[in-house]
Amino acid sequence: MAEIAALAGVSKPTVSKVMNGQPGVAAATRERVERVIAERGYVRHSAARALSAGRAGSVNLVVKEIDNAYFSEIIRGVEETLERAGLSMVLTATHDEARRHRRWLARVVEHGTDGAILVLPDEHFAHLGELRRHGVPVALVDDRGESPPDVPSVGATNFAGGFAATEHLLSLGHRRIAMISGPAFKSTRERAAGYRTALQEAGIQPEPLLEKPGGFVAETGHGATRELLRLPDPPTAIFTGNDLQAMGVYRALYEAGLRAPDDVSVVGFDDLPFARLLTPALTTVRQPVREMGALATRMLLRVIAGEKLESARVELATSLIVRESSAPPRP
């Protein structure tokens, strides 16, 4: 209100009158105020709410889980960006459960919000349309690949990341490189495509036996590695879909009396904070998860402010971080 009044060069009561459609404002003044309101991206409805009850002052962040370093990094990036903008972060974990989605939506509608950021929005999230109907601006992080193209969305260059990880292992001399993969998200499929493409460009035919799908958890890395080690011709290197799976690979190697990188090289994906703390420190593809959360937040704030985004879809670059877990194969 004060901001609009200042920008339009009028008093706050005048802004209030214009917003509420009350008489007693000269046509030119009314037009000026309306223009400022339009430029700042306020719509009458939310402005009216702001007048009566105070802007929500908060943005909702919806993640699947909280106690997972990938989501923690995003949460941190979002919180820091909102904090600088003077906004609070309302955080909700859905555990991919439809009823939690519904209850979240009910709370948002009841108590209001300035916007919502959804991370890896899952199949239950048919609510995008409903949020828009309620006038809630939305931004996405790591879209699973099913949302409308005009919704602001931040991801990473997953294909390039998968390619770089595989190319690194090839350059060390590995020829039998396995990949442990994650759920069938867009990002996962792209990582696997990068892996296969790098193999093919090196003249190696990808083998279905060396690709192990599963969940983004350590248990998948553990189970898949046990199976890989039992192959007649086991891989000398394993590229995992995320860092947690790599912890599971370490465990399976340990149980088999093997070590990375002496016996098997391991490359992860994400570069979450724990990756550099592992022994051996994990070679991994860094995706700037925190920055992805921060950028999605900045895009959302611009949409809330009524600005037009140059591009609704942004991918941040991945980069290979070489540490201790990758080395040439035994001769």
Given the rule CB under 8 A, which of 27-35, 65-73, 130-138, 155-163 is the region that contacts its own copies?
65-73
Given the rule CB under 8 A, which of 9-17, 24-32, 82-90, 312-320 is the region that contacts its own copies?
82-90
- Tell whether residue 57 is a contact of its own copies (CB under 8 A): yes
- φ, ψ for residue 125, nearest 5 deg: -85, 65
* Residue among 12, 35, 102, 103 that touches its own copies (CB under 8 A): 103
- Tell whether residue 193 is a contact of its own copies (CB under 8 A): no
DSSP code string of 275-320: GGGSSSPPEEEE--HHHHHHHHHHHHHHHHTTPPPS-SEEEEPPEE
* Residue among 8, 19, 25, 75 that touches its own copies (CB under 8 A): 75
- Tell whether residue 5 is a contact of its own copies (CB under 8 A): no
Asked if 81 and 73 touch (Cβ cutoff 8 Å), the reply is no
Instruction: Give just the sign of the alpha carbon dihedral 93, 98, 99, 101.
Output: positive
* Residue among 29, 39, 44, 88 that touches its own copies (CB under 8 A): 88
Q: Smallest distance from the beta carbon of 106 to its own copies, in angstroms?
A: 9
Residue type (1 letter), 54: G
41: Cβ–Cβ under 8 A, 6 or more apart, which residues? Answer: 303, 304, 305, 306, 307
How many residues touch its own copies under the rule CB under 8 A: the total is: 46
- Tell whether residue 46 is a contact of its own copies (CB under 8 A): no
Positions that interact with its own copies (CB under 8 A): 53-54, 56-58, 60, 65-69, 72-73, 75-76, 79-80, 83, 86, 88-93, 100, 103, 107, 110-111, 218, 244, 247-248, 250-251, 253-254, 273-274, 277-281, 290
